[in-house]
Amino acid sequence: MSRIYNFSAGPAVLPEEVLKEAAEEMLDYKGTGMSVMEMSHRSKAFEGILFDAEKTLRELMKVPDNYKILFVQGGGSTQFAMVPLNLMKNKVADYIKTGQWSKKAISEAKIYGKVNVIASSEDKNFSYIPDVKNLKISDDADYVYICHNETVHGLKYHDIPSTGDKVLVADMSSDFLSEPVDVSKYGIIFAGAQKNVGPAGVVIVIIREDLITDDVMPLTPTMLKYKTHADDNSLYNTPPAYGIYICGKVFNWVKEKGGLDDMKKINEEKAAILYDFLDSSKLFKGTVEKKDRSLMNVPFVTASKELDAKFISESKAAGFDNLKGHRTVGGMRASIYNAMPIEGVKALVQFMKKFEEENTL
Ligand SMILES: *Cc1c(COP(=O)(O)O)cnc(C)c1O
């Protein structure tokens, strides 16, 4: 058995310790004689798994008591609809457009109401986060929406917009648990698990209690009401049980690593290794303004598409997989989530140096 360095944007690398533990428990979870995949979601054993996962997450993120944590399905993409369906009372919302994922959220919200794009970085191909200090927020907006880390374009908010008494909603799919977050600044935080915290199929929603109501848009499906899941503690229907189990293990792993302050430190150290090299390289360069660079997704290019293609194929042969950029933007992208060891980043930079020497005159 040999594992390679996997730079996939998602589904993505998970901590080896977590995978090993899950393998050990695969046939017999703690004396139940069955796999977590095979057990009733109403069983004592699974109730314990769900309870512990929520408890550890609450602890890690210091989630205030007036927030609920929900585990739902449908991917991050279903949240693009759930947010407007549940929060649009005036049928107006303000969105900040910073890349592919906020763009998709905007298109979806437009089905349900009026969307004001109050800031955008589309003019420069989403290579920066617009100034959000003095945003003009619409008086009638039901909420303000951001994508906290744009997975495809590789940028993140280092400061979040102050929205006054307006609810702030954030998609944190690709940087969830990568650093401490002041949950009280948000009305809703959601994250698809498959980027930084678990397998595909689980979405984590952290929602302020006053936003959980029956006052949703007419025709909202029962399954798309936050209240449905909140009232039954994520057990209204069969939840993504095995995925929640793995997420719980990842939460414990993060805790053992020292929690979110330490996670941030390690992530900054890892990202700096790669960005410092990109800034000094004659061949490679980063595509995002320095101040807005993501700690998780690092896009970069060479001088030509041909060299990009050569790099992608040679890096794969050398044991660095999934470095091809998103199909819509090209180039390369190294996703260096929590579970990517620092050795992986160092080895990648070594390989890039060698490639540079071989391919510059
Ligand atoms: C991947 C991703 C999504 C979409 O997730 P799905 O689970 O594929 O629906 C949404 N937002 C961000 C920031 C993402 O990275």
CB distance 77 to ligand 1 below 6 Å: yes
CB distance 147 to ligand 1 below 6 Å: yes
CB distance 202 to ligand 1 below 6 Å: no
Same-domain check for residues 249 and 290: no
pLDDT digits (tens, 9 = 90+) for 47-105: 999 999 999 999 999 999 999 999 999 999 999 999 999 999 999 999 999 999 999 99
The pair of structure tokens assigned to 338 is 């929590």
Burial (CB count within 10 angstroms: exposed 0-12, middle 13-18, buried 19+), residue 239: buried
- For the question of residue 195 being annotated catalytic, the response is yes
CB distance 196 to ligand 1 below 6 Å: no
pLDDT digits (tens, 9 = 90+) for 5-58: 999 999 999 999 999 999 999 999 999 999 999 999 999 999 999 999 999 999
Dist CA 54 CA 69 (whole Å): 7
Dist CA 31 CA 44 (whole Å): 13
Neighbours of 280 (CB within 10 A): 9
Residue 3 domain flag? no
Q: What is the mean pLDDT of residues 131-135?
A: 91
pLDDT digits (tens, 9 = 90+) for 185-219: 999 999 999 999 999 999 999 999 999 999 999 99
pLDDT band at 322 (very low <50, low <70, confident <90, very high): very high
- For the question of residue 171 being annotated catalytic, the response is yes
Residue 9 domain flag? no
Same-domain check for residues 241 and 264: no
Q: Looking at 68, 94, 97, 101, which residue is catalytic?
A: 101
CATH of the domain at 346: 3.90.1150.10
Question: What integer pLDDT is reported at residue 361 of this predicted model?
Answer: 73
Same-domain check for residues 135 and 231: yes
Same-domain check for residues 207 and 310: no
Domain boundary residue, one of 199, 229, 256: 256
Residue 280 domain flag? yes
Dist CA 21 CA 36 (whole Å): 12
Same-domain check for residues 170 and 48: yes
Question: What integer pLDDT is reported at residue 330 of this predicted model?
Answer: 87
Q: Looking at 94, 171, 175, 292, which residue is catalytic?
A: 171
Q: What is the mean pLDDT of residues 323-342?
A: 94
pLDDT digits (tens, 9 = 90+) for 178-187: 999 999 999 9
Residue 7 domain flag? no
CATH of the domain at 207: 3.40.640.10
Q: Ligand 1 centroid vs 173 CA: distance in angstroms?
A: 6
Q: What is the mean pLDDT of residues 347-353?
A: 98
Residue 10 domain flag? no
Same-domain check for residues 170 and 305: no
Same-domain check for residues 190 and 277: no
Question: What integer pLDDT is reported at residue 329 of this predicted model?
Answer: 84
Neighbours of 3 (CB within 10 A): 9
Same-domain check for residues 342 and 234: no
Same-domain check for residues 173 and 322: no
Question: What integer pLDDT is reported at residue 134 of this predicted model?
Answer: 87
Same-domain check for residues 118 and 216: yes
Domain boundary residue, one of 256, 286, 313: 256
Domain boundary residue, one of 236, 256, 276: 256
Phi, psi of 333 (to 5 degrees): -150, 125
Same-domain check for residues 207 and 286: no
The pair of structure tokens assigned to 28 is 């017999």
Residue 219 domain flag? yes
Q: Looking at 156, 195, 227, 270, which residue is catalytic?
A: 195
| Closest Cα to atom 8 of ligand 1 | 75
Beta-carbon contacts of 218 under 8 Å, excluding residues fewer than 6 positions away, are none
- 107: domain range? 16-256
| Closest Cα to atom 7 of ligand 1 | 75
Q: Ligand 1 centroid vs 10 CA: distance in angstroms?
A: 9
Q: What is the mean pLDDT of residues 170-184?
A: 98
Same-domain check for residues 227 and 308: no
- For the question of residue 101 being annotated catalytic, the response is yes
Answer for the pair 133, 119: CB distance below 8 angstroms, yes or no. no
Dist CA 86 CA 215 (whole Å): 7
Residue 8 domain flag? no
CA-wise closest residue to 99 among 117, 87, 81: 117
Q: Ligand 1 centroid vs 287 CA: distance in angstroms?
A: 21
State the total domains in the chain: 2
Residue 322 domain flag? yes
Most ligand 1 atoms within 8 A of CB, residue of 73, 95, 101 to mutate: 101
Average pLDDT score over the chain: 97
| Closest Cα to atom 14 of ligand 1 | 173
